[in-house]
Amino acid sequence: MTSSPPAAPPEGSPVVVLVEPQMAENIGTTARAMANFGLSRLRLVAPRDGWPNARAYPAASGANRILDEAELFGSLEEAIADLTYTFAATARGHDQVKPVLGPREAVAGLVERTGAGEAVGVVFGRERNGLLAGEVALANAILTYPVNPAFSSLNLAQAVLVLGYEWFSQAHGAVLPHRGEERSEPATKAQMLAFFASLEKALDRVEFFRPPEKREGMVINLRNIFQRMQPTQQDVATLHGVVTALGDGAKGPARGATLTPDGAEALRNFLADSTKGLTGGTAPIRGISRLIRRNPTEAEKALWEVLVKDRRFAGRGFKRAVPIGPHVADLVSFDLRVVIDFEPHTQGDDAAERRAEKRAWLAERGYRVIVMEARVVEADPAAALDRLEMLLAERRDGG
């Protein structure tokens, strides 16, 4: 059962030798593993079910050429006769004094030898009991794999696959078949600064930086988060779009549940008119303060924007749309026990009466209520803020 003398292996490719493989299907899956990683020459030593065998081909999944060109031998000695260096793949040492290498080190040697023009091969044993001691003795060195000692058995195809992976990685530079899409160019500092300006402006609108005196540190931390990401120009463009979309809100009349300035003032008049709106119990209806905070009037926005940027008011604890008992204060400082209440452009008699009741209720509980006309604040927010500072100074001085 001997073929003609083996043909020389193709340049730069080790021969895979299977000794007495027991199942044709295992020969097929081995051929598939070889084809995956560029191993093209297969030699079979006395396969149990003979060769060729049709059952091998479905298992090969298209690696038919390797099976068609597989060489058949009656003994291991004949199969390796033309090779100058071989490894015996085995999990056992067989008490033989030989170099024992893992797949990475073994393949490094094979690459070097094939590069020098040597004919080399790796011998794999039977599925059931591997290679015999005499067969291992024919090899120059032992190839073994670092596997789980509690479950170290590999089938033929798995063992060849590990060898093939290392071979292809080292002999062909581990070139991947495809890579991810090319990223755009890294974002410039100018682009990052423009994004920061947009983001911080949007966060100012929703009063994210609270309390005001901690704004600088919060901005630094926020910028460092994005700097660590090293975003690309495309990343920054996408983030710009996200910030813009969140700031603009949903399309349509509601604009993301944000009312127009006229709508915000109408909301307050409606709530003041309603006996059950803000003063109907011991606390405002749930969600009212949040609704008001998200929908400031022009006067509230104008005064708040200058207030949070003015160092005179740093640390004084002013907040917007905060519940106090059954009412919601436009602006309040609990530290100073001061409430700022805006007088709207227009209001009905009922709304005016409710506002007067609110101011009286707050005054009875020790709050100083400072009334500011919306029209005056909108015309000159800075002057309104100066007036507020003067009134607060008078109180500190006992005036």
**According to the model, what pLDDT value does residue 240 have?**
80
Q: Averaged over 365-372, what is the pLDDT?
A: 93
Inter-residue contact 92 to 143 (CB < 8 Å): no
Percent over 70 (pLDDT), the chain: 85
**According to the model, what pLDDT value does residue 174 have?**
65
The CATH number of residue 311's host domain is 3.40.960.10
**According to the model, what pLDDT value does residue 282 have?**
62
Instruction: Give the C-alpha distances (Å, rounded to integers) separating 392 from 129, 303, 368, 373.
Output: 94, 15, 10, 17
Instruction: Identify the domain boundary among 171, 199, 217.
Output: 171
Instruction: Identify the band that residue 64 occupies on the pLDDT scale cut at 50, 70 and 90.
Output: very high
Is 293 inside a domain boundary? Answer: yes
Inter-residue contact 367 to 335 (CB < 8 Å): no
Q: Which residue do the tokens 């920061």 mark? A: 196
The CATH number of residue 146's host domain is 3.40.1280.10
Is 183 inside a domain boundary? Answer: no
Same domain, 197 and 83: no
For 130, the domain range is: 15-171
Same domain, 58 and 129: yes
**According to the model, what pLDDT value does residue 209 have?**
87
Same domain, 244 and 285: no
**According to the model, what pLDDT value does residue 4 have?**
45
Question: Which pTM was predicted?
Answer: 0.51
Instruction: Identify the band that residue 255 occupies on the pLDDT scale cut at 50, 70 and 90.
Output: very low
Higher pLDDT: 350 or 332? It is 332
Is 57 inside a domain boundary? Answer: yes
Q: Averaged over 191-220, what is the pLDDT?
A: 87
Instruction: Identify the band that residue 80 occupies on the pLDDT scale cut at 50, 70 and 90.
Output: very high
Same domain, 39 and 86: yes
Residue whose C-alpha is closest to residue 297's, from 375, 235, 390, 210: 375
Tally of structural domains, the chain = 3
Same domain, 28 and 167: yes
Is 253 inside a domain boundary? Answer: no
Same domain, 149 and 278: no
Structure-token pair, residue 89: 């793949």
**According to the model, what pLDDT value does residue 123 have?**
98
Same domain, 209 and 304: no
Inter-residue contact 209 to 203 (CB < 8 Å): yes
Instruction: Identify the domain boundary among 112, 137, 171.
Output: 171
Q: Say which residues have a Cβ less than 8 Å from residue 101's Cβ, sequence separation at least 6.
A: 87, 109, 141, 142, 143, 144
Same domain, 82 and 200: no
Same domain, 101 and 153: yes
Cα Dmax for the chain:
119
On average, the pLDDT of the chain sits at 85
CB atoms within 10 A of CB 153: 11
Reported as a single tens digit per residue, the pLDDT across 202-213 is 888 878 888 888
Same domain, 56 and 109: yes
**Gap between the terminal Cα atoms of the chain:** 119
Higher pLDDT: 70 or 324? It is 70
Given a cut of 80, whether residue 248 has pLDDT beyond it is: no
Same domain, 223 and 269: no
Whether the bond into 52 is cis, omega within 30 of 0: yes
**According to the model, what pLDDT value does residue 3 have?**
46
Same domain, 26 and 157: yes
Is 182 inside a domain boundary? Answer: no
Instruction: Identify the band that residue 11 occupies on the pLDDT scale cut at 50, 70 and 90.
Output: low
Is 88 inside a domain boundary? Answer: yes
Is 139 inside a domain boundary? Answer: yes
Instruction: Identify the domain boundary among 198, 218, 248.
Output: 248
Given a cut of 90, whether residue 14 has pLDDT beyond it is: yes
